[in-house]
Amino acid sequence: MSKGAFEVVITERVFRETIMYFRRNYSKKTVEKVRLFLAAGSTVIPQSLVITELRRWKGKIKEKDLENLAAVKALGIRHLVSLDRHYDAFLEHVSPRRFVESIGLKPSETEY
């Protein structure tokens, strides 16, 4: 992301939840760095842009995952990168490891 190898798109909800997590667990300085990194390095999609897809996919996936799926569908995004298995039924879903491999990078060893 920071090297421009791929474009990152996140929903408002993910942006807010990430900031809240860092506020609970880290210093104000770190929170501000994360906020600026996300704001500068990604496109934040407001919920208002994906209303139609929210309605279309409601009930087909857990409510907490709905906004991400709706954004992917509404914007025609190729990959929904996540470890969350709730997305497995959707063609766009790819694990972080597979995504990294697909762009020609070598993934790190993990315990996931």
Confidence of residue 5 (pLDDT cuts 50, 70, 90): confident
State pTM to two decimals: 0.84
104 has a pLDDT exceeding 90: no
Q: 42: which 2 tokens?
A: 């990604």
Contacts of 66 (CB under 8 A, 6+ apart): 54, 57, 58
Confidence of residue 108 (pLDDT cuts 50, 70, 90): confident
11 has a pLDDT exceeding 90: yes
Dump pLDDT digits (tens) for 14-41.
999 999 999 999 999 999 999 999 999 8
Determine the pLDDT at residue 111.
Answer: 63
- The larger pLDDT score, comparing residue 35 to residue 2, is at 35
Decide if 2 contacts 36 (C-beta within 8 A). Answer: no
Decide if 80 contacts 68 (C-beta within 8 A). Answer: yes
Dump pLDDT digits (tens) for 54-70.
999 999 999 999 999 99
